[in-house]
Amino acid sequence: MGKAPKVIEMAVYPVAGHDSPLLTLSGCHAPYFTRNIVVLKDDSGNLGIGEIHGGEHITKQIESYKPFVLGERVSEYRKVLTNIRRSRERAAQDTGEGLQQLNISNLKFVVQSEAAVECAMLDLLGKFLELPVAALLGEGGIQRDEVEFLGYLFYSADSSKIDLPYEKGDGSDSWESLRRTEMMTPEAIVKQARVLKDKYGFNNFKLKGGVLAGAEEMKAVDALKAAFPDARINIDPNGAWTLEEAVTLTQDRKNVLTYIEDPCGPEQGFSSREIMAEYRDATGIPVATNMIATNWRQFHHAAALRSVNIVLADPHFWTLNGSVRMAYLLNEWGMTWGSHSNNHFDITLATFVQVAAAAPGKIAPVDTHWIWQDGESLLKEPLSFIDGKIKLPDKPGLGVEIDLDKLGKQNELYHQMAFKDRDDTIAMQYLEKDWQFDPNRPVFCH
């Protein structure tokens, strides 16, 4: 085997896909979501791919990385990432707060956009070495040959009340129709879970909270546990509840909740890390986060305070190598690794499989939004779920191949959009006039 090939072409494709009016603490999802796709070509003719969050800020960042990538051997990806990081200046608007209060406008500062380049170069390196990306990550290589995902449940608004171009359901109970209809009751959430289990085989479920009053959302959690008694059930209010409310709602539900994700936010002068440590002490319920430990400095304080048990180390926040490095540390410390997700295409799904396959120990089932975007694949052969799991592909690199025609179609959709950055307020104001984001109030409790 000779020298590793060099990168000779780099293209950045901002893309869009269809979404449903899903509700979270930040408001209501727009009819479209956006992502950025990186496609590298090396001098052996192979293509490497990576996916990261959308938005023009991130598109411009990735475009600026081209001088550091072009002409470099794929085996030098670590040097490339180091040079990118050294060149990047902190944006003036970046306060360093991160996602502690789920300010979506800060998301672009939490995302490590170089992860898309890292992923694409690892894809090429894996093809050169004839190894999957999972074998190139971490200290111990591949840890499992299949990865379990959870069914990610959302409250969904009635799109007929929103004058925006959402796709409509046809009234059937198929997932393709159901995901485009209103789902706001415990019964509707249980139905959503049943359809997801039938289609994808999920054995565990997570409900996105921060939408209705906490007591109403816990009725849905109880209903899910009654319908799926053997399932791991958790809820993510994105820190919308006060400490007192979170304790009251959950302290008698240890047999219902396997864990809870970000139940409380900062209050009375204390940070979320301090408040969530008090929550753990008061309830004994394991706590997960993707809000208060999104970088190493935040994790240091969260770990010192024993605020969390499970760190959802999204490789888009941590990079692929950083996420797996976190997994090794958590395993050594008796904690648990998992991964959070945002709306994404299936390049990210393939990335999650590779990263989770390299994570040691007993990991949490991985989040994925892909089920809400299923049908808009960017790949020649989309990955498939069997019993809620995806097998590690037996091909090198990411184990998947980009379909350039599909990529072009989603790139065209992006350019048809008037507004490129995420703003969940726009759709939400059709449901609640003059609604504004408040990190301390569920969306229908203003």
In which residue ranges of the chain is CATH 3.30.390.10 found? 6-133+405-416
DSSP conformational letter for 116: H
Residue 394 is encoded by which pair of tokens? 């037996």
Q: Tens digit of pLDDT for each residue in 423-443? A: 999 999 999 999 999 999 999
Place of tokens 């565990």: 204
- Cα–chain center distance at 264: 20
Residue 77 is encoded by which pair of tokens? 């990806």
The annotation status of 267 as a binding-site residue, yes or no, is yes
Fold held by 136-397: TIM Barrel (3.20.20)
Helical spans, DSSP H, in 173-213: 175-178, 186-200
Q: Which amino acid is at 60?
A: K
The annotation status of 252 as a binding-site residue, yes or no, is no
How many alpha carbons fall within 13 Å on the CB side of residue 77?
Answer: 26
Q: Tens digit of pLDDT for each residue in 191-240? A: 999 999 999 999 999 999 999 999 999 999 999 999 999 999 999 999 99
Residue 326 contacts residue 318 (beta carbons within 8 Å): yes
Residue 184 confidence (pLDDT) above 70:
yes
The annotation status of 321 as a binding-site residue, yes or no, is no
Number of other residues whose CB lies within 10 A of the CB of residue 328: 17
The pLDDT score that the predictor gives to residue 79 is 97
**Ramachandran area for residue 123 (φ above 0: left; ψ -120 to 50: alpha; else beta):** alpha
How many alpha carbons fall within 13 Å on the CB side of residue 224?
Answer: 34
Number of other residues whose CB lies within 10 A of the CB of residue 116: 31
How far is it, in rounded angstroms, from Cα 385 to Cα 382? 10
pTM higher than 0.85: yes
Catalytic residue among 108, 127, 197, 208: 208
Q: What CA–CA distances, in Å, run from 159 to 23, 191, 372?
A: 11, 19, 15
Catalytic residue among 18, 197, 316, 340: 340
CATH of 6-133+405-416, one of 3.40.190.10, 3.40.50.140, 3.30.390.10, 3.40.1010.10: 3.30.390.10
Residue 248 confidence (pLDDT) above 70:
yes
Residue 53 confidence (pLDDT) above 70:
yes
406 in catalytic set: no
**For helices 272-283 and 243-250, angle between their N-to-C axes, nearest 10 degrees:** 30
In which residue ranges of the chain is CATH 3.20.20.120 found? 136-397
389 in catalytic set: no
Pairing of the two strands 23-24 and 27-28:
antiparallel
Number of other residues whose CB lies within 10 A of the CB of residue 352: 26
